[in-house]
Amino acid sequence: MPTEAPAPPPLTATHCPYCSLQCGMGLRAASGAPGGLEVVPRDFPVNRGALCGKGSSAPALLDPRLRLTEPLIRSAATGRLEPATWDAALALVAARLGAVGEEHGPDAVGVFGGGGLTNEKAYALGKFARVVLKTSTIDYNGRFCMSSAAAAHQRAFGVDRGLPFPLQDVARTGCVILAGSNLAETMPPAVRHLRELRENGGKLIVVDPRRTRTAEQADLHLAPRPGTDLALALGLLHLVVAQGRTDEAFIARRTTGWEAARTAVMAHWPELVEKITGVPVPQLRAAVGLFCDAPDGMVLTARGAEQHATGTDTVGAWINFCLATGRAGRPLSGYGCLTGQGNGQGGREHGQKADQLPGYRKLTDPRARAHVAGVWGVPADSLPGPGPSAYELLDALGGEVRALLVMGSNPVISAPRAAHIEGRLRALDFLAVADVVLSETAELADVVLPVTQWAEETGTMTNLEGRVLLRRAALAPPDGVRGDLSVLNSLAKLLSCEETARKFPADPETVFQELRRASAGGAADYAGISYRRIEAEDGVFWPCPDEDHPGTPRLFLERFATDDGRARFVEVTHRGPEEEPDAEYPLVLTTGRVLAQYQSGAQTRRVPELDAATPGAFVELHPLLAGRIGVADGDAVTVTSRRGHATAPARVTAAIRSDTVFMPFHWPGEGRANNLTNPALDPVSKMPEFKACAVRVERAGPAA
Ligand SMILES: Nc1nc2c(c(=O)[nH]1)N[C@H]1C(S)=C(S)[C@@H](COP(=O)(O)OP(=O)(O)OC[C@H]3O[C@@H](n4cnc5c(=O)[nH]c(N)nc54)[C@H](O)[C@@H]3O)O[C@H]1N2
Ligand SMILES: Nc1nc2c(c(=O)[nH]1)N[C@H]1C(S)=C(S)[C@@H](COP(=O)(O)OP(=O)(O)OC[C@H]3O[C@@H](n4cnc5c(=O)[nH]c(N)nc54)[C@H](O)[C@@H]3O)O[C@H]1N2
Ligand code: SF4
Ligand SMILES: [Mo]
């Protein structure tokens, strides 16, 4: 008789811990595999089974040897972080946060969150700040990410959702302009949608000062000087107008404000735009031709176009371009932002942002305050007002802000002008960090709280499409770690009382049920979304106001989310980056990412195969520049800006403009790119200018 094969271990359908694509994957217990889990491909619409190396190696970091498994307290005797019990660590955090609040007022206690936190955590963290700490001082790393696109979305469309359509739509449109995205390295499985676009006859235009792996796939690559996308977008719209290719019927029926926007565009004639951007006029004309000849089209921006002190206006100009050509509010057309972090979208909807309450409500709106206070069971007038933005908050550490709780960010590496911010963190009276690893920020803490990770806990994430997803726990956490929700529950009890602690349940589904009620009626309405539905439907797109509502994969097809239902043109004109090159600092530095490392690198630098793939920082520079300064490939070079310097090996490549150098920002120490970056802020979004500052580059070491 044939014997039955033993049943395979159960498969948990879940999602990657890293970027906003939130690729679907399956996890199965496998003894001997890194982290004890095998990653199995799973058919999910954004990635259709494909994963990048970060996703496929993600279980490695579950290994207790690579992460924190006990709380740490800085010893008064040795000055070092020493192992401690959870009771002692939590008691100390509560006592110090409480004492600073008593002595200096509630706003002296700050909270810094992250766009990698689940919706449940982001919601609980925002509520904890307002209800328990009663502080207005809360913001998060998403401010450094897509805040300019978010602000421009709100301004033009009345709502902010990264993509107003599912990612698969990209493959069926006629032309895509990808401005400042290197998705072949930052969201590799998404490349298949671009490949299909081109197989279907659609065109791809990539705007990037570097000829990236993404740009290599384009029909047309425009390589502007960093920080000049605003002029570029206005220049393209100028040509659209000059060639009579505006969609007047669409403009009349679906928009307001065109006259003023059109007048502003007229000053941006092609030759001037060539002079500002360095993009030759024939290429500008070619781009307009490709875009307008196609029956439909999309503009997608990412951090290259957005991380500037002009980011909000730059995105506004791209939106104007879409509206004027009628490429918005119709199937297979529109503007979208490729949100970055795993929960970059959900993380900005549920209240860890300085000015915000859950459901993407405004903290200054009396009706929003009354609604959310009702759900929270507190008086509306007890809720603090809006607080400082991320960089302003970090810059105030050791001054007005004397104690900080960090959950889900590593600003020592990722904040602009990082050496200064590191100094501000050191100047605090008290720093507590909840993290899975001893990040560079955790290394500065007075107390470190070791928390559970993605595969050990359940929670929802909202990906770049506005699709709410469920991550299910696939294995038990190691001894010694606790969930972020449990940490907040304990702190609520210690800082307040048992009754307050009940408002902070550690069970994620209970938190989600409350989040649904808190978001009901808001722009990002999750009221109709449940764990059960998410699992049955491959995710649910918000807004989804009730359980019978199908969710909203495509926004704006009938109306925009403004009061009158029309999209608003914005009147924008070109401004350059805050710092222009000069005799002392003749080059432009831009920064970004490599395939194998994620963000501050706190997680991926600890995964052996990723660390081996790209072990350290480098400086990309053009052969002409290298020749001029006498540098060969691999030589150490020092990059200096008005804020500091960084040293790393040169990578000499013709794939970058000769007036520009590029550094990825994933590493600490000498190669920390953020030693150099300019914290000039966008006036609307408060986004720092990560993508353009003036520098000089020299051979490192003693002069020959
Ligand atoms: N491998 C990897 N993937 C990631 C991440 C990661 O850290 N590593 N992080 C995730 C997150 S949070 C984010 S936000 C996304 C970011 O995803 P992307 O925005 O794709 O990443 P970046 O490398 O920051 O920037 C993209 C490109 O912008 C270009 N650029 C620089 N300056 C300018 C400019 O002035 N104009 C234009 N048009 N382009 C410019 C750079 O040359 C770079 O190729 O990636 C997500 N995915
Ligand atoms: N120069 C330059 N600087 C940049 C950028 C750039 O392009 N150029 N990009 C900016 C952008 S877009 C971003 S998004 C930021 C990101 O910058 P960071 O906020 O520093 O990003 P991460 O490295 O993802 O930090 C997340 C931290 O939280 C931990 N963590 C992960 N999951 C959890 C969890 O569930 N709970 C808790 N408590 N901790 C967790 C991780 O181990 C890690 O230490 O960097 C910004 N900085
Ligand atoms: S593309 Fe993003 S979500 Fe997909 S596997 Fe890679 S890091 Fe994970
Ligand atoms: Mo990001």
**What digits encode the pLDDT tens for the residues 410-443?**
999 999 999 999 999 999 999 999 999 999 999 9
Between CA 459 and CA 123 the distance in angstroms is 12
Q: In this structure, are residues 517 and 376 in contact, taking their beta carbons and an 8 Å threshold?
A: no
Q: How far is CA 640 from CA 341, 546, 678, in A?
A: 29, 55, 12
Residue type, 530: S
Dihedral over alpha carbons 591, 597, 603, 606 (to 10 degrees): -120
Distance from the CA of 208 to the center of ligand 3, in angstroms?
22
DSSP letter assigned to residue 329 = S
- Ligand 1: distance of its center to the CA of 265 in Å? 27
Protein residues whose CB sits closer than 6 Å to any atom of ligand 3: 16, 18-19, 21-23, 47, 51-52, 54-55, 187-189
Closest ligand 3 atom number to CA of residue 342: 3
Quick check: 624 and 434 in contact, CB under 8 A? no
Ligand 1 neighbourhood includes 185 CB (under 6 angstroms): yes
Q: Which two three-digit tokens encode residue 288? A: 């307009």
Which distant-in-sequence residues (6+ apart) come within 8 Å of 602 by Cβ? 410, 413, 435, 437, 439, 440
Tally the C-alpha atoms within 13 A of residue 704's C-alpha that lie toward its C-beta: 5
400: exposed, middle or buried (Cβ count in 10 Å: 0-12, 13-18, 19+):
middle
Going through 7-103 in order, the beta strands assigned E by DSSP cover: 11-15, 24-29, 37-41, 72-74, 81-83
Write down the CATH number for the domain with range 587-701. Answer: 2.40.40.20
Position 653 scores a pLDDT of 98
Q: Cα separation of 87 and 109, whole Å?
A: 21
What's the pLDDT score for residue 1?
A: 53
Element (H, E) at 323: helix 311-324
CB 362 within 8 A of CB 355: yes
Q: Which residues contact 211 (CB under 8 A, 6 or more apart)?
A: 221, 223, 654, 655, 656
Compute the distance between CA of residue 400 and CA of residue 394 in angstroms, rounded to an integer. Answer: 10
For ligand 1, say whether the CB of 181 is within 6 Å of any of its atoms.
Answer: yes
Amino acid identity of 194?
L
Q: How far is the CA of 593 from the centre of ligand 1 (A)?
A: 6
Identify any residues that bridge with 644 across adjacent strands, giving them in sequence order: 641
> Ligand 3: which residue has its CA nearest to atom 6?
52
C-beta of residue 42 within 8 angstroms of C-beta of residue 55: no
Closest C-alpha residue for ligand 3 atom 1:
187
Does the C-beta of 140 come closer than 6 Å to ligand 2? no
- For residue 543, cis peptide bond before it (omega within 30 degrees of 0): yes
Q: Is 677 close to ligand 2, i.e. is its CB under 6 Å away?
A: yes
Q: What Å distances lie between residue 451 and 20, 133, 456, 485, CA to CA?
A: 21, 21, 10, 10
How far, in Å, from the CA of 301 to the mean position of ligand 1? 10
Q: From CA 671, how far away is CA 649, in angstroms rounded? A: 9
Most ligand 3 atoms within 8 A of CB, residue of 14, 20, 46, 47 to mutate = 47
* Residue of the CA atom closest to atom 17 of ligand 1: 186
Q: Is the CB of residue 437 below 6 angstroms from any atom belonging to ligand 2?
A: yes
Between 3.40.50.300, 1.25.40.10, 3.40.50.740, 2.40.70.10, what CATH number should domain 72-144+343-458+479-514 receive? 3.40.50.740
Residue 276 beta carbon below 6 angstroms from any ligand 1 atom = no
Strand runs labelled E in 359-491: 361-362, 403-407, 430-435, 447-450, 459-462, 467-471
CA-derived radius of gyration, the chain? 25
Query: Which DSSP symbol is given to 131?
Result: I
d(CA 568, CA 552): 21
Ligand 1 proximity of 305 Cβ (cutoff 6 Å): yes
pLDDT at 704: 43
> Distance, CA 139 to ligand 4 centroid (Å)?
14
Please give the structure tokens belonging to residue 16.
């990657």
339 within ligand 2 shell (Cβ under 6 A): no
| Angle of the 258-265 helix axis to the 229-242 helix axis, nearest 10 | 100
pTM over cut 0.75 = yes
For the chain, which residues score pLDDT lower than 70?
1-3, 702-704
8 Cα to the center of ligand 2, angstroms: 36
| Residues 6 or more apart whose Cβ sits within 8 Å of residue 534 | 460, 468, 469, 470, 540
- In this structure, how many other beta carbons lie within 10 angstroms of the beta carbon of residue 200? 11
Residue of 293, 285, 292 lying closest to 269 (CA atoms): 285
CA 236/CA 286 separation, integer angstroms: 10
Exposed/middle/buried for 344, CB within 10 Å: 0-12, 13-18, 19+? Answer: buried
Tell whether ligand 1 has an atom less than 6 A from the beta carbon of residue 208.
yes
Give the residue, by CA position, lying nearest to ligand 3 atom 8.
55
The one-letter code for the residue type at 247 is D
- Strands in 37-41's sheet, in edge-to-edge order, are 11-15, 24-29, 37-41
User: How close is the Cα of 326 to the center of ligand 1, in Å?
Assistant: 28
Number of Cα atoms under 13 Å in the Cβ half of residue 668:
13
Residues of the chain with CATH 3.40.50.740: 72-144+343-458+479-514
State the residue for tokens 């781009």. Answer: 287
Task: Kindly indicate whether the domain formed by 147-338 is annotated with CATH number 3.90.1570.10.
Answer: no
CATH architecture of the domain with range 12-66: Single Sheet (2.20)
Residues of the chain with CATH 3.40.228.10: 147-338
The answer for residues whose C-beta is within 8 angstroms of residue 291's C-beta and 6 or more apart is 175, 177, 203, 205, 236, 297, 325, 327
